[in-house]
Structure 1
């Protein structure tokens, strides 16, 4: 492996390397760096010579990294981000004076049970801050949006996988079983016989939930009477049909009051479902980003 003298190495070549990795094209890299194509090509030759490796080879889809290029991208990106953070003089973040938007991708549970309190809390501390909510992206797109900063955080039932991603468990979501009050149930725990006999209204078409897993372990299964898209629709259907619904316990009291439903412990002890928050470590030094995560944590203290 060729030895590189860091004292004489042009660090601008590393910026070029990352740009070529992201664009996979000399033409697009030249546009992004505001350089001519010959200048980019010349810089690439210098980089190849310094590293003793082609780093990228041409293919139908554009420039494809070599094994050496694959091995370098992570450390080089981290190093450039550290240099960037070190060179920037970050102004102190003052919530009361801040004017900016935060973008959070989150599940329906977060939107219904946590977001209202979060917005109310933030509006008092930082009236110039806007909270924008989006659907949780799938697959690699989730980590890409966190890395780019297009999303500040993702809150959902799964952790986001990817290089540089941090996560923590915010909450453990327990369930409350609900049915219309005219059923006349007075017991705190919902009767198992009625739970298995009466149809349920469930959210989306999720298969093998913790409820179904627990019932299956006992050789039982429940009847599905309706499948809806969000939590709010479940108690509305239950109030009109007498169907059973299982809702997150933090939301149960609100639904009971709105739709005249009775609240009960589930007939069996269903394990709580974790709620995770994920973000990218490249923003760990960003005072505004750190403040946002702190406000989200404050809204969902673990019992």
Structure 2
């Protein structure tokens, strides 16, 4: 054990040392109940198995878990930065870096939803960022309730208020009223539209320099139609980004689009055309190779990177981008061997 992280009540996060590096262990202390955790274990195993088949993943599931008489443990590799930390760390993110992270977050959610997995607790603390701005979505909350009461903040504090800052990323429809017309089960299936709302909140925080779009009281007021977040979003100069965020956080969940739809609709409007497929394919090929090979690949790719960034012909980008970075990687592998 090295250090206790955060102030979460439901799961305690502990940074530990392992022979292969640092790991993050999340601990659930059993509270005198005889809960059967086997169903949650099956969900974790399914998520890990499904994500293991994804090529160039932006998702990072729990890698190991263990249950004892007194506690249950979830383990994954430790990352130095999550998005919340990165937003307050120098050098501060440039505009294009923020757009690149927003693109990757949408791509991560697309990978989840394409494989029938919903996250359930997307927030800045669960968005992990490497030193070269490759993004992973982690800490999938298959064991947290889908719905919580709107008039009992203790449930929100216990399950979702990780840092005690009252920031809220939950979709309004996840709050229910006791004795209301619509009865819901706490463990009802998550819906992709719930994740999309949370993504909108995270992207807003990204472009608001770390300021949250909603605190819990504001989210509940927004749910009642008594709060307008568009005024807060006016601090973002780019009207396209504001429009995308407002579309993601609509009160009507059926009006929100899929992650793939946002990637397509806002390509060339908010997200530069060269992000996909060219730049994403290039980064994907850089990811698994050693540092010296990365440098060599960047050197060989540099003329094409400039051409793609300066090119306005989106159709040509798509054709070239699908093949170029793979061809460069093949040339580097030949040199290495």
Normalising by structure 2, what TM-score?
0.21
Greater relative contact order structure (CA < 8 Å, 6+ sep): 1
More strand per residue: 1
Bigger radius of gyration: 1
With structure 1 as the length reference, what TM-score do the two structures score? Answer: 0.23
